[in-house]
Chains A and B, each alone.
Chain A
């Protein structure tokens, strides 16, 4: 059992700058939580507070019901994997993996068994006599993970572990982390600014901005039902298109388009008749149709899809820009006019930026 409860945690530095505001979350045993957000949003600070590397200014941290807010990092039974691997260059992989247990003066035979078992899990058995400099970035990161595994900690913490790897290796190592989580069934907290990592790895995602939690939910919840404009713009690649529109008699009136609302959408926007709202459309929800016209300015073929960028209504205004992910291979040229429709719409309150949802 390794249940973690983060209760109303704040981080205020000595210079009175507040990095984290009222962070609140319960992590179930074996859950994979990903903290995602742009640089400087407080995700790494939160992880470091959980690890014990930063003091908690306010709030409580419980592990299996035990208050560990003031417990030193070494006694928290958590293992952290860093972006820069933090391996000892003069030691072999075996010695690196055994190091923490050796420091704890565990029986060398027990250490040996644990290191071999971890190396087996991570596919590092043939590399144990090598030095870190002889390994690739992905292998070094696996060694860093192995060093955590041998400790058998209650919670694994990952601080942007894949950021130093190239795109191909990042994908492969990401899959390895996922397999590792399935195999160990351990509680894991993972920090990244890469939404692809967040969506593919997480059981639940915590999306943060400016030190505040914006939304906690499953990857699908964050993608399908973003809580506010920030989450909607952060999750999804290419990002969601946003337009200011007016709700009027069952229709949305934009500067360059007029879209009819279906019954479900009408009920969602019941209280907004005559008001301005923000309409969000994911690029993958734009398809050929007749609700608006897009004047193409670039066409990127991605194989299965084509990413088409253009302006609504032929204007060149920044607010009329639109990205559309069309199915198949398209060959639009700059200046072509394409008729489009919006399949799935997201509505946001213009003042609060919160998503407009159907009232229960």
Chain B
């Protein structure tokens, strides 16, 4: 291992994992944009009202879990990196719930058939969820890699008697 790499590892003892933390904040931000975007449909059905209600509750859970994870990955706690990975998977899965199903759905208002979600709105919702998921996956991968590297470095320091 090169001297520079050794120092980089040693720096992790005192520097926080800001990359993963910032990526997690970005994931939350993208989720907030998605959250705002789904409200831009003023036409709906009973089914979609229920789905949006559920989505609101999940958004709250997501933001809390993601914020908690951001603190965890900041301190190189591997468990939180895995949680971020899970949150990323759920963000991808959400694409197939509201945006996809709303795009295919129509509703009749005053004898006119209207699409529940327009194409542009659908695209934005998908992009926001994808961005959020990518940020979660990246934060998770970086967090796992860094926390393992730090643990190995700490173990080697302990073996050397430092």
Q: Which residues of A contact B (CB under 8 A)?
A: 92, 94-95, 108-109, 112-113, 115, 128-129
Contact = CB atoms under 8 A, between A and B. Distances in A.
Given A94-B14, A112-B10, 7 more contacts: A94-B15, A95-B14, A108-B11, A109-B4, A112-B11, A112-B14, A115-B14
Contacts of B10: 112
A12 B11 CA distance: 48
Interface of B: 4, 7-8, 10-11, 13-15
A128 B11 CA distance: 11
B14 A129 contact: yes
11 contacts: A92-B14, A94-B14, A94-B15, A108-B11, A109-B8, A112-B7, A112-B10, A112-B14, A113-B7, A115-B14, A128-B13
B144 to A, nearest CB: 22
Interface of A is mostly: helix
A191 B56 CA distance: 62
Contacts of A129: 13-14
Contacts of B8: 109
Contacts of B13: 128-129
A325 B4 CA distance: 62
A113 to B, nearest CB: 7
A262 B86 CA distance: 95
B8 to A, nearest CB: 7
Contacts of A95: 14-15
Nearest to B14: A94
Contacts of B4: 109
A109 B14 contact: no
A304 B15 CA distance: 51
Contacts of A109: 4, 7-8, 11
A215 B106 CA distance: 94
Nearest to B7: A109
A144 B7 CA distance: 24
A128 B14 CA distance: 7
Contacts of B11: 108-109, 112
A91 to B, nearest CB: 11
B1 to A, nearest CB: 14
A109 B14 CA distance: 12
Contacts of B15: 94-95
A95 B10 CA distance: 14
Nearest to A125: B162
Nearest to A128: B14
A249 to B, nearest CB: 76
The 5 closest A-B CB pairs, nearest first, are A94-B14, A109-B7, A112-B11, A128-B14, A112-B7
A15 to B, nearest CB: 47
A115 B7 CA distance: 12
B12 to A, nearest CB: 10
Nearest to B162: A125
B122 to A, nearest CB: 42
A5 B15 CA distance: 41
Contacts of A94: 14-15
Nearest to B11: A112
* Residue among A108, A109, A113, A129 with most chain B CB within 10 A: A109
B158 to A, nearest CB: 15
A95 B11 CA distance: 11
B29 to A, nearest CB: 22
A284 B83 CA distance: 74
Nearest to B4: A109
* Residue among B4, B7, B13, B14 with most chain A CB within 10 A: B14
A94 B14 CA distance: 7
Contacts of A112: 7, 10-11, 14
Contacts of B7: 109, 112-113
A95 B14 CA distance: 8
Contacts of B14: 92, 94-95, 112, 115, 128-129
B9 to A, nearest CB: 10
Contacts of A113: 7
A149 to B, nearest CB: 17
Contacts of A108: 11
A112 B3 CA distance: 13
